[in-house]
Homo-oligomer: A and B are copies of this chain.
Amino acid sequence: MIRNINDVPMETIEMEGVKNASMAVMIGRSDGAPNFALRSITVEPGGYTPKHSHDFEHEVYVVEGSGTILLGEKMHDIKAGDVIYVEADLEHQFKAQGGELRFLCMVPAHRSCGEPTPGSEGGVS
């Protein structure tokens, strides 16, 4: 299965505390992926993802653009080529600054209590 991140429809993330961010699940459980899911996320200039934490980790790769990430109480600048590990239960928030921020965000297929991780399913919606 090969899909280019420029060819997939992005869906607006409808969640409290989100502004101008969208997502596509590129590889998810519905593709047969048993262990983790790969999502493409775009944040428009001035937009942000929710400031939250959860019981599963993120592994992130910044594809293009720049912005910031809040990790716990510390803000960090991020740019293309950065790999970021967000451990479980750490509060975090991505913000786009200047241009559009695009990143890949990988999550485990199942969270610590065993049920499927939200946003790991994928497939046509």
Residues in chain A within 8 A of chain B (CB atoms): 1-6, 26-27, 31-36, 38, 40, 57, 59, 61, 63, 69, 76, 78-79, 81-85, 87-88, 104, 106, 108
Q: Does A36 contact B33, Cβ atoms closer than 8 Å?
A: no
Chain A residues touching B, majority SS: strand
B82 touches A2 (CB 8 A): yes
Chain B residue nearest to A102 (CB atoms) is: B81
Q: B1, B4, B78: which contacts A81 (Cβ < 8 A)?
A: B4
Q: A2-B83, A4-B82 are in contact. List 5 more A-B contacts (CB 8 A).
A: A2-B69, A31-B85, A33-B85, A61-B61, A61-B104
- A5, closest chain B residue (CB): B81
For the complex, give the distance between the alpha carbons of A2 and B36 in Å.
Answer: 20
Say yes or no: A2 contacts B78, CB within 8 Å: yes
A71 to chain B, nearest CB (A): 8
Contacts of A88 in B (CB 8 A): 34
Is there contact, CB below 8 Å, between B57 and A33? yes
